[in-house]
Amino acid sequence: MAGHSRANLPPLSLHVPEPRFRPGDAVDFNGFDVPPAGAARRPDTGDAPADFHELSYGLVRVLDEEGHAVGPWDPKLSPDLLRRMLRSMVLLRAFDERMFRAQRQGKTSFYMKARGEEAVAVAAAYALDADDMCFPSYRQQGLLIARGCPLVDMMNQIYSNTGDKLGGKQLPIMYSEKRFGFFSISGNLTTQYPQAVGWAMASAAKGDNRIAAVWCGEGSTAEGDFHSACTFAAVYRAPVIMNVVNNQWAISSFSGFAGAEATTFAARAIGYGIAGLRVDGNDALAVYAATMWAAERARLNQGSTLIELFTYRAEGHSTSDDPTQYRSAEESGAWPLGDPVVRLKDHLIALGEWSEEQHAEQDKACAEEVRAAQKAAEANGILGHGLHQPLDSLFDGVFEEMPWHLQEQRQQMLDEEEASGRPWARK
Task: Please list the residues that pair with 217 across neighbouring strands.
Answer: 245
Q: Is 97 exposed, middle or buried (0-12, 13-18, 19+ CB in 10 A)?
A: middle
Q: Which one is catalytic: 139, 210, 278, 313?
A: 313
DSSP letter string over 85-104? HHHHHHHHHHHHHHHHHHHH
Q: Which one is catalytic: 42, 68, 98, 326?
A: 326
Going by C-beta distance under 8 Å and a sequence separation of 6 or more, which residues neighbour residue 8? none
Q: Which one is catalytic: 237, 317, 347, 359?
A: 317
Calpha distance 406→39 (Å, rounded): 61
Sheet with 133-135, side-by-side order of all strands: 133-135, 212-217, 240-246, 305-310, 275-280
Phi, psi of 350 (to 5 degrees): -65, -30
3-state secondary structure of 367: helix
Calpha distance 119→135 (Å, rounded): 17
Are 64 and 71 in contact by the 8 Å Cβ rule? The answer is: no
Going by C-beta distance under 8 Å and a sequence separation of 6 or more, which residues neighbour residue 10? none
Going by C-beta distance under 8 Å and a sequence separation of 6 or more, which residues neighbour residue 411? none
Residue 155 carries which side chain, given as an amino acid letter?
A: M
Residue 398 carries which side chain, given as an amino acid letter?
A: V
Calpha distance 221→313 (Å, rounded): 17
Task: Please list the residues that pair with 133 across neighbouring strands.
Answer: 212
Q: Is the four-CA dihedral 330, 335, 340, 346 of positive or negative sign? A: positive
Q: Verify whether residue 426 is a known catalytic residue.
A: no
Alpha helices in 141-275 (DSSP H): 141-146, 151-159, 192-205, 224-236, 268-272
Are 281 and 119 in contact by the 8 Å Cβ rule? The answer is: yes
Instruction: Determine how many CB atoms are found less than 10 A away from the CB of residue 283.
Output: 31
Calpha distance 146→303 (Å, rounded): 26
Q: Verify whether residue 313 is a known catalytic residue.
A: yes
Residue 189 carries which side chain, given as an amino acid letter?
A: L
Which residues have a catalytic role annotated?
Answer: 313, 317, 326
